[in-house]
Structure 1
Amino acid sequence: MKSGGYDAGDPSDYAKYMKRFWGNDGFPSGYYVVHSETDFYLGDRERVNMKATIDFKVVE
């Protein structure tokens, strides 16, 4: 399931990208870098913070 959006304040190239993203299966061709972070507790004591970055290319 895809999600995402844009509004009138976003750059026009971003709006164009989002339209391509919604209209295709998968991602449009390009180079992507994704940053992610999560924060949670184990039991009542231990706080865990995890960060990850992944990059990938999509080719036709």
Structure 2
Amino acid sequence: MFRAILPEGQIDCERYEHTENGLELYDEDDEFLAFVPYANLHALADEEIYSGDERSIM
């Protein structure tokens, strides 16, 4: 599971694909969730970093 971190919030996704201009995010059923332009993407984090330590990663 991954988490796309944006200025407006976060989007959880199961997988993603790089495109020329951004990321395409997909859920566990392989359904398209969102397109995130690289200019709006602050970070893409593996969900495991949230479960291992309670300290903030921001």
Asked if TM exceeds 0.5, the reply is: no
TM-score (norm 1): 0.22
Q: Which has the higher strand share?
A: 2
Higher relative contact order (CA 8 A, sep 6+): 2
TM-score (norm 2): 0.23
